[in-house]
Amino acid sequence: MKKIIVPIDFSEHSEYALKTAATLAKKHDAEVLVLHMLEMSTVALTASDELLGQQAVFFMKLAEKKFKDFLDKDYLKGVNVTPIIKHFKVFSEVNDVAKENNVDIIIMGSHGSSGIQEMFIGSNTERVVRNSEIPVLIVKNNVVDVNFDVIVLATDLEEESIQSYINTRKMFQDVASKIYLVHVNLPNERFQSTTELEKKAVHFFTKADRSLNHLEDLRFVSDYTVDDGILHFSNKSKADLIVMPTHGRKGLAHFFQGSVGEDVVNHSTLPVLTIKME
């Protein structure tokens, strides 16, 4: 992990994300790119070039002043911080900025102002997750100790989920003592017997690891909803992080039908990492 990007709106929750980034940067000797996007109003976007130029200069100067104050924090001392200001109207272009700068991870606060009112539905954070080709870490609280020792990865044990499992294990192999894979079995038409689940598990790990060495890390959980199963197990196992696979522009993976991913993020007090399925 060499580069971290943190989109901020100068809110309390974006500072939670910045604190988390600073801690990770110190552990990995990484650079933190702090990104603020000027949300020019529709009126401004349709204004004359001269008026638009004046407004852009005004908002740019205002953002620079806010940046200077916002980044004047003790926890950033010794961290290589690069402020970036862009003119974009929405956060969906964060992925482009991340790719341009070869960023390894995006870290975002969950309830900021100026366009991050809600965590997922209709929000800019949802756009970041949907468009991001790199992992997005969503922080809801002030994380005192960024120590991802116990990790819970939600999985449906399908072949298309294998890459997200491999990526998660690769990302945390040097820092996590335990990575649990959790499959939630539901009492509906998607219910599977123990025999069926065991067969899927053997196939999954044989394809992913070419061995069954990590089969012992898999847990089958029975619950009424996938998000309840994930959250209950995460609390029981005293997890430090929940990892949710995503399907890129299609949003959360197909087995998280409905609002499962959104519910996990909204109801979890733990940080949640979304990682794209290949």
Residue type for 261, please? Answer: G
Average pLDDT, stretch 138-166?
89
Average pLDDT, stretch 69-73?
90
Q: What is the pLDDT of residue 166?
A: 93
In a domain, 145, yes or no: no
Closest CA to 185 of 146, 228, 143: 228
Backbone angles phi, psi at 109, to 5 degrees: -80, 155
- 24 in helix, strand or coil? helix
Q: What is the pLDDT of residue 141?
A: 82
Summarize pLDDT for 205-218 with one digit per residue, the tens.
999 999 999 999 99
End-to-end CA distance of the chain: give it in Å, rounded. 20
In a domain, 162, yes or no: yes
Average pLDDT, stretch 246-262?
52
Residue type for 64, please? Answer: E
- The alpha carbon of residue 92 and the mean position of all alpha carbons in its chain are separated, in whole angstroms, by 14
Residues 39 and 117 in one domain: yes
Residues of the chain above pLDDT 70, percent: 77
Residues 129 and 34 in one domain: yes
- 272 in helix, strand or coil? strand
Average pLDDT over the chain, rounded to whole?
81
The boundaries of the domain holding residue 15 are 3-139
In a domain, 103, yes or no: yes
Specify the pTM: 0.83
Residue type for 178, please? Answer: K
Q: What is the pLDDT of residue 226?
A: 86
Number of folded domains that form the chain: 2
Last residue of a domain, one of 99, 116, 139: 139
Q: Which of the residue ranges 34-48, 155-169, 262-276 would you say has the lowest mean pLDDT?
A: 34-48
Residue 172 contacts by C-beta under 8 Å, 6 or more apart in sequence? 148, 151, 179
- 2 in helix, strand or coil? coil
81, pLDDT greater than 90: yes
Residues 222 and 130 in one domain: no
Which of residues 88 and 181 earns the better pLDDT score?
181
Contact indicator for 115, 10 with CB cutoff of 8 Å: no
> Alpha-carbon distance 115 to 123, whole Å?
7
Residues 129 and 204 in one domain: no
50, pLDDT greater than 80: no
Last residue of a domain, one of 97, 115, 139: 139
